[in-house]
Amino acid sequence: MTDPLSWFETGLQLTRLGMDMQIVIAERMSRLARGDAAAGVEAIRMVTEKTLALGEVNARLMKAAAAGRLDAVGPEIVALYGRKVRANRKRLKR
C-alpha cells in the first residue's frame, strides 16, 4: 500500500500545476494573439514541447508497467509536467 501522505503531496503538486498552467496559457494566448513572427515561433515551440512531453510520459509509463509499478508513476509524471510548466512560466515572464 502506498503512503497516504504521498498522495496528499501529489494533490498539492496538481493544484500548483493547475494554477501555473493557467498563467502559462494566458501568457501564450497573449503572445499568439499578436500574430507576429514571435507568435509563430511560440506556436511551434508549444506543439514541439507537448509532443516531446508525451513521449517522455509514455516511456515512463511503459517502464513502470514492465516493472509492475504503475501505482507509483503518477507522482513522477506530475513532477515532470510541473518542472516543464514552471520553466515555461519563467520564460514567458521575461
Q: Which of 35, 34, 40, 29 is nearest to 88 (CA)?
A: 29
Residue with cell 513532477: 79
The CA distance from 4 to 1, in Å, is 9
Per-residue model confidence as pLDDT tens for the chain (94 residues) = 467 777 888 889 999 999 999 999 999 999 999 999 999 999 999 999 999 999 999 999 999 999 999 988 988 999 999 999 999 999 999 8
Other Cβ atoms closer than 10 A to 59:
10
SS3 label, residue 67 = coil
Ranges of each domain in the chain: 4-93
Claim: this prediction has a pTM higher than 0.85: no
Q: Collapsing DSSP states into helix, strand and coil, what is residue 31?
A: helix
